[in-house]
Amino acid sequence: MPYYIGDVIKDYKKLVIRTPEEFKKTGVDVKLKTRVEAVDPGKGSVRLSDGTALPYDILVMATGAEATRLGLPGEDMEGVFFFRKLTDALQMKSFLDSKPCRKVVIIGAGYIGMEMCEAFRSLGIETTVIDILPRPVFRWDPEFAKVVLEELSKNQVTFLPSTKPLAIEKGKDYALRLVTDKGIMGADLILIGVGTKKGTELAVSLNLEMGESGAIKVDFSQRTSMENVYAVGDCCEVFHRVIGKWIYFPLGDVANKQGRTAGQNIGGAPSEFPGIVGAQAFKLFNLEVAATGLTEEEATKYGFQPVSTIIAGLPVGRPMAKGEKLGLKLIADKPTGKLLGAQAIAEKGAVSRINSLSLALWSGLTLEEIGYVDLAYAPPFGGAWDAIHIAAQTLMRKL
Amino acid sequence: MPYYIGDVIKDYKKLVIRTPEEFKKTGVDVKLKTRVEAVDPGKGSVRLSDGTALPYDILVMATGAEATRLGLPGEDMEGVFFFRKLTDALQMKSFLDSKPCRKVVIIGAGYIGMEMCEAFRSLGIETTVIDILPRPVFRWDPEFAKVVLEELSKNQVTFLPSTKPLAIEKGKDYALRLVTDKGIMGADLILIGVGTKKGTELAVSLNLEMGESGAIKVDFSQRTSMENVYAVGDCCEVFHRVIGKWIYFPLGDVANKQGRTAGQNIGGAPSEFPGIVGAQAFKLFNLEVAATGLTEEEATKYGFQPVSTIIAGLPVGRPMAKGEKLGLKLIADKPTGKLLGAQAIAEKGAVSRINSLSLALWSGLTLEEIGYVDLAYAPPFGGAWDAIHIAAQTLMRKL
């Protein structure tokens, strides 16, 4: 999603949403609430849910993904929300505006769950997050999850690990109650954020070739297996430069880049999207949490021999430090010495390090180079030896 | 210098300075207040100012640089300071502690001048900066200097451009007065920060080969032209990866890296310092000011054909922006499309962008790649299209 969903809840009046009429002025015909029922590639035509047919020269599949449903009894009750589209956020906003909400339970401690904690707490709502896994944001290592848990606790968010939701029922003290394998909890609002389901139904009906991941297979120009059909965003795969393979990685910035690449090719300016390295981040109250590249598990799965180190560095120069910490983990490939991935967490400076390291991954740099790479040094922004240098040199000793 | 000199003035009690006795415990004999009068490379021996001789197997030249003196009449009066060594900062601190200081004039609007503005203003001292050049921090473009001037003005620092200091005299209302070609100004303290003079006297007396820049010529292992003699830090050259030449670039982080490289080679672990790309930054009150690579003038001088663009981007995602701006300039080589340099200024996010772009320079990336490079996206830290992407795509249109 190309906007910050938690922010909509906090202040949705800032959003500027263009209407179909406004789009029309720019020569774009936007049909809302209209479903494509079928595509006839032979004729070059799509059949719409309003009964009409629309001819095309080029078809772009931007069918995205849906929020995963758990199939819980009571999942469709009033007060239960999934978060995927702008309208989901607006609906939640009017729900919160229309009735008092004292307590929220969030199912799923991924990005959406974590980001929404801040939104709910800023409204003074008691907030609990449950996850079926033993720690939040599982993509990060236990050392980082520990810091995430402290930040949640500091902000009065309760986290319940290894908890399986079983059913949602009408409640007594609260409007709803969530039944789990660990007990029952009341809530006025339940948010389910447990991942995405690829929107590939139409693509399947068209017999487009799918990749190993189950998303639509595309090339670097965003072309699918069918002539004149492109795919972009959360319905298709993307090339991961570190692995050297096409994978599924449904993030908003990637979707934007794929859209631009397809648009340029369709418009006659040949263009290739060079792929990703897996950079990602979220903000949790006062913490920056970021990662790039592969985890050790992923590295092993894709045939690398990962070695890793975690350091507690400083986001600023030593004489200026006032107790801030920067946790930085690097993962490298033992035989080649190449960086494979990184994780960082800090009150400030985590995203900055991860972005520099994403560029290092992009170019396939080794730890030896990263240990001496040139970063802008001034004590308010880091040490003469930055945490990046120190971590790379520390990990080099394990090669 | 490996610490933040302004910070010493604000809170120098935080500094931990090891004594020669403490060094001795780690097996290192540190002789302070001892000058090397001459080196006899044939014998492998240095003659010290205390009359003794010290034999060596390996000699490391770490003679640094001195603060440039202007040769002004009155330059040696009490209350006139140069800033280079830790002791300079401590001397200024005791001067400020011992007598009231109402007004400071800083000669030179480079890093030291800019960083010291904040230190003096935090002590409530009226501060004026003069420079012989028409704008402060001349390495940055006029558009950026304008923002620097606004920040100085917002913090009650007066900047006088194109002003030549002529003499320092005893004052009436203030302890000193500075005579310039634009008038006379009183001050209780005058700080002169107008650059550095390479400390190469000893190297010259040894007939070490000098580079074009006038600093000691070294190789990637920090070896000089003479066997068993290394040089590191502000007395020697460094390899600039963007230019592909050895230049003089006296910054603290570079000196640290050169020292480590020399130490590893001396200790028997062959090591090469891969050079720099020119990353640099300073903090000015609430501003981050950063740059990397070449300016347009430098690019032209070294045979490139620079094209450039400046954008006013956002350091955070659009729906979260509260008026923050991020000024970003990119410079690229027209025939190859390769990035040559960048400048950034912002309340936050400037150093982060410059570090990512330094990695791009390190690996010789083109604008085409930079326009799609993978950065960790979350609206608190940037847009789905980061300022880096937007600037690179904007500049691509000029290739």
What is the full per-residue pLDDT of chain A (399 aa) written as tens digits? 223 444 444 454 555 667 888 888 888 888 888 999 999 999 999 999 999 999 999 999 999 999 999 999 999 999 999 998 888 988 999 999 998 999 999 999 999 999 999 999 999 999 999 999 999 999 999 999 999 999 999 999 999 999 999 999 999 999 999 999 999 999 999 999 999 999 999 999 999 999 999 999 999 999 999 999 999 999 999 999 999 999 999 999 999 999 999 999 999 999 999 999 999 999 999 999 999 999 999 999 999 999 999 999 887 777 677 777 899 999 999 999 999 999 999 999 999 999 999 999 999 999 999 999 999 999 999 999 999 999 999 999 999
Pairwise CA distance, residues A114 & B16, whole Å: 40
Residues of B with Cβ-Cβ distance to A8 under 8 angstroms: 319
Is residue A137 packed enough to be buried (19+ CB in 10 Å), middle (13-18) or exposed (0-12)?
Answer: buried
State the pTM of this model. 0.94
Q: What six digits make up the tokens of B4? A: 């933040």
Distance from CA of A203 to the nearest CA of B (A): 26
Work out the angle between the directed axes of helices B350-362 and A350-362 (0-180°, nearest 10).
20
Q: What six digits make up the tokens of B56? A: 């060596």
CA end-to-end span of chain B, whole Å? 39
- What radius of gyration, in Å, describes the C-alpha atoms of chain A? 23
Q: Which of A328, A355, A366, A374 to mutate to test the interface with B (most CBs of B within 10 A)?
A: A374
Pairwise CA distance, residues B385 & B394, whole Å: 12
Work out the angle between the directed axes of helices A350-362 and A387-396 (0-180°, nearest 10).
50
Q: Do A280 and B319 touch (CB under 8 A)?
A: no
What's the whole-number average pLDDT of chain B? Answer: 93
CB atoms < 10 A from the CB of B115, how many? 22
CB of A251 within 8 A of CB of A237? Answer: no
Pairwise CA distance, residues B186 & B190, whole Å: 9
CB of B178 within 8 A of CB of B73? Answer: no
Question: Any idea which residue has 């399947």 for tokens?
Answer: A204
Q: Does A175 touch chain B (CB under 8 A)?
A: no
Q: Do B273 and A372 touch (CB under 8 A)?
A: yes
Report the residue of chain A nearest B344, measured CA to CA: A376
The predicted complex's ipTM stands at 0.94
Q: What six digits make up the tokens of B69? A: 């003196």
The predicted model gives B13-18 an average pLDDT of: 62
With CA atoms as reference, report the closest residue to A347 among A302, A315, A388.
Answer: A315
Q: What is the pLDDT of residue B128?
A: 98
Q: Does A290 touch chain B (CB under 8 A)?
A: yes
Residues in CB range of B140: below 8 A, 6 or more apart:
B148, B289, B291, B343, B345
Distance from CA of B191 to the nearest CA of A (A): 20
Q: Do A356 and B359 touch (CB under 8 A)?
A: yes
Q: Do A292 and B374 touch (CB under 8 A)?
A: yes
Q: Does A286 touch chain B (CB under 8 A)?
A: no
Q: Do B377 and A253 touch (CB under 8 A)?
A: yes
Question: Any idea which residue has 């070739």 for tokens?
Answer: A209
Chain B, residues 6-65, CB within 8 A of chain A, namely 7-8, 14-15
**Using H for helix, E for strand and C for coil, what is the string for chain B?**
CCCCHHHHHHHHHHCCCCCHHHHHHCCCCCCCCCCEEEEECCCCEEEECCCCEEECCCEEECCCEEECCCCCCCCCCCCEEECCCHHHHHHHHHHHHHCCCCEEEEECCCHHHHHHHHHHHHCCCEEEEECCCCCCCCCCCHHHHHHHHHHHHHCCEEEECCCCEEEEEECCCCCEEEEECCEEEEECEEEECCCEEECCHHHHHCCCCECCCCCECCCCCCECCCCCEEECHHHECEEECCCCEEECCCCHHHHHHHHHHHHHHHCCCCCCCCCECCCEEEEECCEEEEEEECCHHHHHHCCCCEEEEEEEECCCCHHHCCCCCEEEEEEEECCCCEEEEEEEEECCCHHHHHHHHHHHHHCCCEHHHHCCCCCCCCCCCCCCCCHHHHHHHHHHCCC
Pairwise CA distance, residues B286 & B369, whole Å: 32
Q: Do A377 and B317 touch (CB under 8 A)?
A: no
Among partner residues A256, A288, A384, which is closest to B252 by beta-carbon distance?
A: A384
Q: Do A355 and B356 touch (CB under 8 A)?
A: yes
Q: What is the DSSP pairing of strand A157-160 with strand A126-130?
A: parallel
Residues of B with Cβ-Cβ distance to A384 under 8 angstroms: 2, 252-253, 255-256
Chain B, residues 295-334, CB within 8 A of chain A, namely 317-320
CB of B329 within 8 A of CB of B309? Answer: yes
A117: three-class secondary structure by DSSP: helix
Q: What is the DSSP pairing of strand B229-231 with strand B59-61?
A: parallel
Q: Which of A90, A243, A359 to mutate to test the interface with B (most CBs of B within 10 A)?
A: A359
Pairwise CA distance, residues B196 & B84, whole Å: 9
CB of B60 within 8 A of CB of B232? Answer: yes
Pairwise CA distance, residues B116 & B193, whole Å: 10
DSSP annotation of A217 reads: P
Q: Do B4 and A359 touch (CB under 8 A)?
A: no
Pairwise CA distance, residues B49 & B42, whole Å: 20
Distance from CA of B167 to the nearest CA of A (A): 32
pLDDT at B8 exceeding the cut of 80: no
What are φ and ψ of residue B204, in 5° steps? -65, -45
Residues in CB range of B355: below 8 A, 6 or more apart:
A352, A355, A356, A375, A376, B279, B292
Q: What is the pLDDT of residue A13?
A: 53
Q: Do B363 and A358 touch (CB under 8 A)?
A: no
Residues of B with Cβ-Cβ distance to A374 under 8 angstroms: 241, 253-254, 275-279, 292, 358, 362
Q: Does A362 touch chain B (CB under 8 A)?
A: yes
CA end-to-end span of chain A, whole Å? 39
A339: three-class secondary structure by DSSP: strand
Q: Which of B272, B362, B374, B399 to mutate to test the interface with A (most CBs of A within 10 A)?
A: B374
Among partner residues A279, A318, A380, which is closest to B375 by beta-carbon distance?
A: A279
Q: Does B372 touch chain A (CB under 8 A)?
A: yes
Across the A/B interface, how many CB contacts are shorter than 8 Å?
175
Q: What is the pLDDT of residue B2?
A: 30
B380 alpha-carbon distance from chain centroid? 30
Report the residue of chain A nearest B279, measured CA to CA: A376
Residues of B with Cβ-Cβ distance to A317 under 8 angstroms: 3-4
Q: Do B379 and A251 touch (CB under 8 A)?
A: no
Q: What is the pLDDT of residue B3?
A: 36
Q: What is the pLDDT of residue A324?
A: 78
With CA atoms as reference, report the closest residue to B343 among B153, B145, B161, B155.
Answer: B145
